[in-house]
Structure 1
Amino acid sequence: MKPHLRTSAEGVDYRDLNGNGVMDPYEDPRLSPAERTEDLLGRLSTEEKVGLMFQTVIEIGPDGELLETPGAISKSPTSEVVLSKHLNHFNVHAMRTARDGARWNNNLQRLAEQTPHGIPVTISTDPRHAFVENTGVAFSAGPFSQWPEPMGLAAIDDIDLIRRFADTARQEYLAVGIRAALHPQIDLPTEARWGRQAQTFGYDADRVSEITAAYLQGFQGDELGPQSVSCTTKHFPGGGPQLDGEDAHFPYGREQVYPGGRFEEHLKPFVEAISRGTAGIMPYYGMPVGLVRNGEPIAEVGFGYSRQIITDLLREELGYDGVVVTDWELVNDNHVGDQVLPARAWGVEHLSPIERMRMLLDAGVDQFGGEECVELLQELVASGEVSAERLDASVRRILLVKFRLGLFDDPFVDEDEAERIVGAAAFREQGFRAQAESVTVLENREGTLPLFAGPRPRVYAEGLHEGALQDRADAVSRPEDADLAIVRIGAPFDARDDLFLERWFHQGSLEFPPGLVVRLKRIAEQCPLVLVVNLDRPGILTPFVPFAAALAVDFGSSDEAVLAALSGRIRPRGTLPVEIPRSMDAVRRSRTDVPGDTPDPLYPLRTGLTLP
């Protein structure tokens, strides 16, 4: 029997969350989420309401235990943030096994039962079903089934497949207690240098809108319920038009610009998300510069700070009444070890943390991402600068999502079921097939592809793990001894490591180093070269075209999936969801907010060859 489980005088099973022996309305599973929300709202202390308005990172302890010390990223022991600060929304990072995740969820929910009203915890996550490992963006799959990055799903361009992926991810999340997805990321990556486009679905606004609808359907269903994972769609009103492609996590990337006047196009997928009932929306860090909408200049402050964007546009014009959660750390600087990342208070850097918080609330946000500074909000309420009514408006939205998800009735999961569901063979097979199908073939000269159709070849390989070719070819150590060369490389970027998180972001030039081009050309002079490039950004492939016998790109695929595609065992059907520019000069000449604006692209949108 789970703790606090009782049967009322009317014969109704319920969780006695406040331990008073009575089935209070918020504990009554027969009432609607709205009715239960209103009852609980009237019972909460200011401290409990304040705690609901923060979402931060806590980490899993060894073997799924609670971590009672600060972690690698998390700032405080778990018991402190749950019992003393009354937080109950947490973003989970590393998860070693499904059993660890499930056990941790259950331990965390039991801890939450000790709070005055037993409010259950909502566990959230950034994307974790693909390949990118970046603490500020996404996590590689680990125990979960592994699929291509969202850009790879967009390359396949199959709406039903995207819905199936989202449903699979939903099942795996549910199994370990994750009830909130901090995705989809539906920004249009119109600046080719931007470092966050692997998690987008390309820049065709109409197609991204259709993908958004399918994605939300797979995670949330027709409406939010006990079998749903709530989605926070990001980054409103579109994070793609970053000046020079620099990311707004960092001070040098704070500006978003619209030289082509295409603000409304970037907004379009969010209109679809709102119509499909996304539970949450996250504004981006970016600060619009020179943006005028309906004849009114938009304030040059980060989108989360902008009342014009959050209240006037999102709330009033678009009619959104769900939860608005800020991106991480808009209030305080983030100190990790000996590195620091300034608060993303773009345009309001001069304000104090408490002044920033007040401005965010005035803009219309409900929840502070990556923060646990409850004392600042308590001070604003105590001083009368934030009214009880303003507090209640946000808390009502936040509680309603918890009730609709069924967390108050049963937040626990089965550890054995978690191991059975997460990474199940059928899910892994679907993910592997999608990895292979998303491979996009751009050049295939003289029938180089499909590979391995004839006698067992001698192959020189780079970028493949040892043993990847053992069932298909004989490995040789020199190109001159090979019948064929297969080389996998990543898209280029400028290595940076001054600010916290910076080294994980691929930013800067899209040009490959000349030494690499020369070396690959020499390989191609010895034997036919099959070049596969992982495109987390659209690198300038122009130098390789004259000498590559075959050229393909992937958006998150294992070596085995790439070889399955290039051999034709699983036919690749990827087409480019963004264009590949011909040169960096073309990138610099393009308008930041305009899709497909580089002159004379090397490979236009939706380029992709089929294999014979």
Structure 2
Amino acid sequence: MTRPITFLLIFISLSLVACDSKEKRTASSNDNPFQYQVDSILGLMTLDEKLGQLNLPSSGDITTGASQSSDIAKKIEEGKVGGLFNIKTVEKIREVQKIAMEKSRMKIPLIFGMDVIHGYETTFPIPLGLSCTWNMDMIEKTARMAAQEATADGINWTFSPMVDISRDPRWGRVSEGSGEDVFLGSQIAKAMVNGYQGDDLTKNNTMLACVKHFALYGAPEAGRDYNTVDMSRIRMYNEYLPPYQAAIDAGVGSVMASFNEIDGVPATGNKWLLTDLLREDWGFNGFVVTDYTGIEEMMYHGVGNLQQVSAQALKAGSDMDMVAEGFLGTLKQSVEDGLVSIEDIDKAVSRILTAKYQIGLFDDPYKYCDLERPKNEVFTEENRAFARQVSAESLVLLKNADSLLPLKKSGTIALVGPMANTAVNMAGTWSVATKQEKSIPLLEGLKTVAGDQVNVLYAKGSNVDYDLEYENRVTMFGKSIPRDDRSDQQLLDEALSIAAKSDVIIAAIGETAEMSGESSSVTNLQIPKLQQELLNALLKTGKPVVLVLFTGRPLAITAENENVQAILNVWFPGSEAGLAISDVLFGDVNPSGKLTATFPRNVGQVPIFYNHKNTGRPLGNKEGKFQKFKSNYLDVRNEPLYPFGYGLSYTKFDYKNLTVSTDTISMDSAFKVSVEVSNTGDYDGKEVVQLYVRDVVGSVTRPVRELKGFQKIEIKKGETKTVNFDMTVNDLKFYNSDLDFVAEPGEFQVFVGTDADAELMTSFQLKK
């Protein structure tokens, strides 16, 4: 009679936990409204089933029609899987969820995750490009639209946003973040979380977000992915941690631990990071998932065998094990050995079950499995139109000598370069759901936007690189650019032939999509040599040349800046790339993107960022002239090629009348900074008005300036607008040597302008 009674108890319990949570709420240490239901389930679970909830495998061999016999399916039946990732489409997800709900003993629904990073099938610019819009409403809407599409396809959890601050463009994953600045990064983190999760996670068009990679992942030594990160606590708190905290404050439901070590302890097993800081100091009450095989990789860091590191990770605060199966395979023995307790396991399981309650899976395990939604909500014309708008706003005009741009919609244009006609590269890295072949390449976009009065001639001009093996490494994951078997000279001759017939040349060159991203670190920040030679040959024709630069990172393009008349940095603009780029080239859209990462003159300047500190021997001139016994280089000036916040427009903006509402500010007062911005050019345009502050004297050394506010405004030609920044003393605070968050009395300088080199300045005093 044991078995029937057990199933009756399970049925009664699960019926109870499906009741209204407010009626069944009991007091708990973390004020969890689902604690009663969670505790009811925990009381019925075996240890093996609890460990199963902590296991997150990849979907692996699951395909529709074959899921019943797969290894993953068997584990789901046995209660050994808490969720899956890398599985797509309602049909597949419904079939797998059905296994959990009909064949497992506890009938606990699975959670389904995917790397929905910068859009779903409708793909937006890579995150670094998206950040260059400086448009928080737009960024939030991209996450909202991505959630709409992904949930329509059955997915309810995204491994995004990535908020790692990075000042080293050698690191490939700089493409996945929002650049170098902690203030801007924090605003984007909040916008992305709000976009994914909305105001009600029980809705079937919102999804659980996961902030990553916690923490400091963007600062690896030598810019090499997965490498050691080592920095002081004061630098962590002031320069790297705030975007993660901003996501926590926005209510993000999950956190992903990073691969790197912190203070000599891998993040996946770092109790100070995952418990003391994240939960106790910041009040995070969601769950922590490891990165791919993160627990297993702790062994290679040299901190123990799989059983030891799994126990360490659990006790440190990691709740869900992605792929490594260290929890599933060793924690039962660790309980017997006294390395972990049942209470430790229950705490982690409770967090996973709570998340499933939060997104409504216990009310309806199939709530994301409506077969009609994908037809009406994924890759729609409306979504694509918005993606085109976003992409155009992300492009950054780096140079425009003699107002070469915008181009006229007449005459003959020669479009040359290996990036000119490659649809599969337009979405960039980490675009796993994108239908690459449906993206619009530049050639197609140019012809569409230019109209019948423009004759567009095309030649590839060159392959990506001389080295075939290297080219194969940077065109992975279906993003190949078929190598032309003609000789380099034949390809060049064809390009020069059409250039001779043209009025203007567009050179579409740079990186391919997979030259940046995970495990795509480099030591050379220049455009591949073969493409440089193509560009140089085009310049020698004497025809005006527009460089359309594709890249996932800041590049060292000093020579190109000196020799090319116009440079439009387009990043990887997403599924509507060709149309968006052409909108800007022809002036249908006035470029308004601003850099969120500094462009170096050469790789030797790296790491380089605007909010550095002065040394005791700072360079004393603004012309970059060498001075002996000052902090400078023998061979290149200190200043970057393009500063943070930089980006040109087809019009001109003038700044004047910068004021602070009061010369003296007390610790409990608010104040206002105002500036007048005039559009003195010939086009309506958008401008990102940027406010920087310098704390002149501090108890610890302070940066030369820090971004503390920005507004993106639209100004018609001939119009002047007054821009106001409402500020408080909290905007002046920093972490001191005791890690106290303080504002110190003294002089503060305020700079407002079009980039981090803004010269318009005023000051005020902060009094006790």
Give the drift of 1:163. Answer: 1.4
The corresponding residue for 1:5 is none
Q: What corresponds to 2:290 in structure 1? A: 326
User: Taking structure 1 as reference, are residues 22 and 537 closer, same or farther at Cα in structure 2, changes over 3 Å only?
Assistant: closer
Aligned counterpart in structure 2 of residue 120 of structure 1, from 109, 117, 120: 109
Note if contact 2:515-2:552 (Cα within 8 Å) is conserved in structure 1: no
Tell me by how many angstroms 1:317 deviates: 2.3
CA contact (8 A) 1:260 1:593 kept: no
Q: Which residue in 2 is equivalent to 1:388?
A: 342
Q: Which residue of 2 aligns with 1:348?
A: 302
Q: Secondary structure at the match of 1:234?
A: strand
Q: How many Å separate the matches in 2 of 1:218 and 1:484? A: 41
Contact 2:413-2:506 within 8 A present in 1 as well: no
State the Cα deviation string for residues 134-185 of structure 1 (Å, max 9, x = none).
xxxxxxx5xx211111112210011111111111111112212211111100
Q: Deviations over 1:503-523 (max 9, x none)?
A: x62433212344432331220
Change (3 A) 1:467 1:316: closer
SS of 2:225's partner is coil
Summarize the alignment of residues 550-565 of structure 1 with structure 2, pairs less than 5 Å apart. Answer: 550-557=566-573, 558-565=577-584
Report what 1:28 is aligned to: 19
Q: 1:446 offset after TM fit, Å? A: 1.5
Cα shift readout 1:568-588 (whole Å, capped 9, x = no counterpart): 223332110111011111116
Pick the aligned partner of 2:222 from 223, 244, 247: 244
1:158 corresponds to 2:158: no
**250, 275, 300: which one pairs with 1:311?**
275
Which residue number in structure 2 is paired with residue 608 of structure 1? 647
Alpha-carbon spacing, 1:446–1:366, altered in 2? closer, same or farther (3 Å) = same
Q: CA deviation at 1:122?
A: 0.4
Structure 1 residues 88-103: aligned runs within 5 Å = 88-92=82-86, 95=88, 101-103=89-91
Q: Any conservation in 2 of the 1:443–1:609 contact (CA below 8 Å)?
A: yes
Aligned CA distance change for structure 1 residues 547 and 22 (closer, same or farther; 3 Å): closer
For 1:17 and 1:505, the matched residues in 2 are separated by 54
SS at match of 1:403: helix
Compute the RMSD of aligned alpha carbons: 2.9
Work out whether residues 262 and 594 of structure 1, in 8 Å CA contact, stay in contact via their aligned partners in 2: no
* Alignment pair present for 1:587 and 2:606: yes
Quote how far apart the aligned CAs of 1:469 are: 3.7
Letter in 2 for 1:423: F
Q: Which of residues 541, 547, 560 is equivalent to 1:531?
A: 547
Matching residue of 2:619: none
SS at the partner of 2:43?
A: helix
Could you tell me how far 1:57 is from its partner in structure 2? Answer: 0.7
Matched with 1:458 is 413
Q: Which residue of 1 aligns with 2:324?
A: 371
Match of 1:505 among 520, 528, 536: 520
Give the counterpart of 1:200 among 161, 177, 192.
177
Q: Does 1:270 align with 2:259?
A: no
1:231 alignment counterpart: 209
- Partners of 2:378 and 2:193 lie apart in 1 by 20
Contact 1:306 1:363 in 2 (8 A): yes
Alpha-carbon offset, residue 187 of structure 1: 0.5
One-letter code aligned to 2:229:
Q
Gap change, CA 1:22 and 1:442, over 3 Å in 2: closer
SS in structure 2 of the partner of residue 87 of structure 1: coil
Contact map agreement 1:187 1:239 (CA 8 A) in 2: yes
Structure 1 residue 242, shift from structure 2 partner = 0.9
Aligned partner letter, 1:126: D
Q: For residue 308 of structure 1, give the secondary structure of its aligned residue in structure 2.
A: helix
Show structure 2 runs of 5+ residues with no match. Answer: 1-6, 25-32, 422-442, 459-493, 616-636, 651-682, 684-768
Determine if the alignment matches structure 1 residue 111 to structure 2 residue 99: yes
Q: Provide Cα deviations, 1:35-73, integer angstroms capped at 9, x if missing partner.
A: 2112112111111110111212104755x445467xxxx
8 A Cα contact 1:90 1:122, kept in partner: yes
Quick check: 1:86 aligned with 2:101? no
Alpha-carbon distance in 2 for matches of 1:366, 1:128:
22
Write out aligned runs for 1:411-490 (5 A).
411-412=365-366, 413-451=369-407, 453-462=408-417, 463-465=419-421, 467-471=444-448, 472=450, 473-475=455-457, 477=494, 478=497, 479-490=499-510
Residues 314 and 345, structure 2, Cα contact 8 Å, conserved in 1:
no
SS at match of 1:24: helix
Q: 1:275-298 CA distances to partner (integer Å, 9 max, x unpaired)?
A: 12111111211123xxxxxxxxx3
Contact 2:10/2:44, CA 8 A, preserved across alignment: no
Conserved? CA contact 1:166–1:218, under 8 Å? yes
Matched, 1:213 2:190: yes
- Pick the structure with greater CA Rg: 2
Letter in 2 for 1:301: V
Whole-angstrom distance in 2 between the partners of 1:44 and 1:322 = 21
Percentage identity across paired residues of the two chains: 25
CA shift digits 1:206-248 (9 cap, x unpaired): 1111111121111112354344311110111221111111000
Distance 1:258 1:511 in 2: 28
CA distance in 1, matches of 2:507, 2:61: 38
Offset of residue 106 of structure 1 = 0.9
C-alpha separation between the residues in 2 aligned to 1:439 and 1:505? 23
CA-CA distance at 1:107 after TM superposition: 0.6
3-state SS of paired residue (1:457): strand
Matched AA of 2:410: P
Unaligned runs of 5+ in 1: 1-15, 70-75, 96-100, 131-140, 289-297, 333-342
Q: Secondary structure in 1 aligned to 2:80?
A: coil
Q: In structure 2, how many angstroms separate the alpha carbons of the residues matched to 1:595 and 1:434?
A: 34
Give the counterpart letter for 1:58 in structure 2: S
Partner of 1:294: none
Residue of structure 1 in register with 2:483 after alignment: none
Distance of 2:147 and 2:94 partners within structure 1: 18
| Distance in 2, Cα, partners of 1:421 & 1:371 | 35
CA distance in 2, matches of 1:326, 1:486: 45
CA distance in 2, matches of 1:169, 1:108: 23
Q: Per-residue deviation at 1:80?
A: 2.2
Give the corresponding residue for 2:38: 37
**Match for 1:123: what amino acid?**
F
Residue 447 of structure 2 aligns to a residue in which SS?
Answer: coil
Distance (whole Å) between structure 1 residues aligned to residue 295 and residue 186 of structure 2: 32
State whether residues 547 and 564 of structure 2, in contact with CA within 8 Å, keep that contact through their aligned partners in structure 1.
Answer: yes
> 1:594, 1:42 → 2: CA distance?
54
Amino acid at match of 1:233: V
CA displacement, residues 318-339 of structure 1 (integer Å, 9 cap, x when unaligned): 222221111111233xxxxxxx
Match of residue 547, structure 1, among 563, 585, 588 = 563
Secondary structure, in 3 states, of the residue corresponding to 2:399?
A: strand
Pick from 172, 190, 193 the counterpart of residue 167 of structure 2: 190
Cα deviation 1:70-92 (Å, max 9, x = unaligned): xxxxxx63312311352021111
Counterpart in the other structure of 2:721:
none
Greater relative contact order (Cα 8 A, min sep 6): structure 1 or 2? 1
Q: What secondary structure sits across from 2:256 in the alignment?
A: strand
Q: 1:495 to 1:27 in 2, by over 3 A?
A: closer
Q: Give the Cα–Cα distance (whole angstroms) in 2 for the partners of residues 105 and 37 of structure 1.
A: 24
